[in-house]
A = this chain, B = another copy of it.
């Protein structure tokens, strides 16, 4: 028995004061209403209203139950609306995880733009390179750079493709041995990004073991050290491209085989993606389409 519907019908019946009218208003039959109210009364073990063919009268019990029933239905509506709001409204929090490695550069601009366009969406951005489980940590969205396919529990929308470049300042190159082959790097001061998975091995060609006197978890910090001519860095192109273009730093080993990664927008579950999240993801896609014609 669908108690909820019975309660709804009971409230309606109490308002309209007629089984027939309730049936008409709900496009059902009199018999249904009669049965359903009867079932509810059976379930409660009490009579809710006295019926004479021409008159309906709430019982003492019915009186009290009606009041409570109304409250219950209100609370239910409330709960439904809560869900619906969270689902369809472009409002509320959006908890996002992005790797520090690329968070500081373009993403800051990107999300600033997004927030301008969607003032009702509250962003809660966690930058960090630890591999976190989105669901476990309650993230709505995660950005991941990956060369391989995506974990099947998540949907991964590819946003852009990027690669890494080995950068150094012109001064550094002038003052040190020439770098013609990947293995030449082992004799240079190669900065290491703290959370880089391969740690002391740069994924150039088959991988090159490197060492250096700076380890830091910020590519921008690293870029500054490179610009000062202190050493070499293995830097994502979206971080270093502008400086290469301006001549501040120079790319070496441009021809060497380096991984081409894809930046994914990762989000859990495939059904019922909240619209605010959909909006955000779409924004990400658009932004990378227009601002990053790699």
Contact = CB atoms under 8 A, between A and B. Distances in A.
Contact of A269 (B45, B50, B86): B50
A269 B47 contact: yes
Assign chain A's interface to a size class. Answer: 35 or more
Q: How many copies does the complex hold?
A: 2
Contacts of A118: none
B60 A138 contact: yes
Contact of A55 (B47, B68, B136, B272): B136
A151 B1 CA distance: 33
Contacts of A136: 55, 57
A101 to B, nearest CB: 25
A135 B55 contact: yes
A273 to B, nearest CB: 8
B79 A46 contact: no
A175 B274 CA distance: 101
Contacts of A76: 72
- Chain B CB count within 10 A is highest, among A78, A84, A269, for A269
Interface in A1-58: 1-4, 41, 44-47, 50, 52, 55, 57
A83 B69 CA distance: 12
A271 interface: yes
A1 B4 CA distance: 10
A106 interface: no
A57 B135 contact: yes
Contact of A69 (B44, B46, B50, B79): B79
Contacts of A93: 60
A61 interface: yes
A285 interface: no
Contact of A61 (B83, B135, B153): B83
A75 B80 CA distance: 16
Given A61-B86, A64-B83, A69-B79, A46 B138 contact: no
- Chain B CB count within 10 A is highest, among A1, A83, A140, for A83
A47 B272 contact: yes
Interface of A: 1-4, 41, 44-47, 50, 52, 55, 57, 59-61, 64-65, 68-69, 71-72, 75-76, 78-80, 82-84, 86-87, 93, 135-136, 138, 140, 153, 268-269, 271-272, 274
